């Protein structure tokens, strides 16, 4: 078993760190809000640290799950000032590929590994230890980190060099955005047509239209329930990263720009913390 530090106990990080502790690893956690860290400590076997430096000082692996590029730069910068040579950083934050590559370069200069490893699966996936992880970095660092990520993931893939994991996560969010908009319009159409959503799903739910979102969100969208984890604010952050990157590489994301604008409408309706299936709310 390894000595692990886990930095960031948000909706995703809290259960992920818990799975590490339950797997038998020696876990030290740090979180900006101390009350959250204290709550985690009461629930799981593990230590709390009052600073990033104290959390990572003896760690073999440092897992990070924070908000955005600025948070990653801050946390990685502080960690690198004290971290031991040979330690591997696993960054689960959804951030830009530029951020991943800069952190990778800074880490390698100190003989420290860095794997960008954004996650998909939402709060439910984190709680159930069933996340999907797309990674970028060196093969050796990825291989070493696999047993750590295996505590909370059902699937991990090394996509390529540093930044490739973040680029793949952008594709993930692009696809989800388009799928959810299509599903929202389908639910809206069914409502206007006077059809029962359960019956619609019986008819189309095993055919070409089937998806995870349809299986898990169509009925709740029909019922106006939007309390299932991944928030609109977070989706807009992710789509913003994808859109900026698209401009840099010359990719055309016409649909993604439209859906990002629709999420902006949801925010204006007060739905910042509604989950991403709330796209249907702007149609009703």
Residues with catalytic function: 169
| Cβ neighbours, 10 Å, residue 97 | 23
CA 12 to chain centre: 7
Mark 206-218 as b/e (b = at least 16 C-beta within 10 Å): eeeeebebbeebb
DSSP string for residues in 198-225: HHHHHHHTTSTT--HHHHHHHHHHHTT-
The backbone torsions φ and ψ at residue 147, rounded to the nearest 5 degrees and listed phi first, read -60, -30
Helix (H, G, I), strand (E, B) or coil at 38: helix
Helix (H, G, I), strand (E, B) or coil at 39: helix
What does each C-alpha distance from 150 to 17, 32, 135, 143, 169 come to in angstroms? 12, 26, 13, 11, 18
Strands (E), the chain: 3-7, 26-30, 47-48, 61-64, 88-91, 113-116, 119-120, 131-136, 153-160
């Amino acid at each position: 078993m390894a000595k692990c530090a886990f930095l960031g106990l948000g909706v995703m990080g809290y259960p992920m760190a818990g799975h590490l502790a339950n797997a038998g690893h020696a876990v030290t956690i740090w979180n900006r809000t101390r009350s959250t860290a204290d709550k985690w400590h009461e629930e799981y076997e593990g230590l709390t640290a009052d600073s990033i430096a104290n959390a990572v000082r003896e760690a073999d692996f440092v897992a990070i799950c924070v908000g955005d590029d600025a948070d990653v730069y801050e946390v990685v910068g502080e960690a690198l000032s004290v971290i031991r040579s040979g330690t591997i950083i696993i960054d689960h934050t959804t951030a830009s590929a530029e951020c991943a590559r800069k952190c990778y370069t800074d880490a390698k200069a100190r003989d420290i590994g860095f794997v960008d490893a954004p996650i998909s699966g939402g709060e439910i996936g984190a709680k159930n230890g069933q996340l999907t992880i797309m990674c970028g970095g060196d093969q050796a660092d990825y291989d070493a980190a696999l047993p750590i990520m295996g505590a909370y993931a059902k699937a991990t893939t090394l996509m390529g060099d540093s930044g490739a994991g973040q680029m793949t996560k952008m594709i993930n969010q692009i696809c989800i955005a388009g799928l959810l908009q299509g599903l929202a319009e389908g639910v809206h159409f069914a409502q206007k047509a006077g059809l029962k959503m359960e019956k619609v799903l019986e008819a189309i739910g095993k055919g070409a239209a089937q998806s995870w979102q349809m299986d898990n969100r169509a009925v709740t969208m029909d019922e106006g329930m939007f309390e299932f984890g991944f928030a609109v604010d977070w989706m807009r952050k992710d789509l913003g990263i994808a859109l900026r990157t698209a401009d840099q590489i010359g990719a055309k994301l016409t649909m993604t720009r439209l859906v990002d604008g629709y999420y902006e409408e949801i925010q204006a309706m007060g739905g910042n913390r509604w989950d991403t299936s709330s796209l249907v709310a702007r149609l009703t």
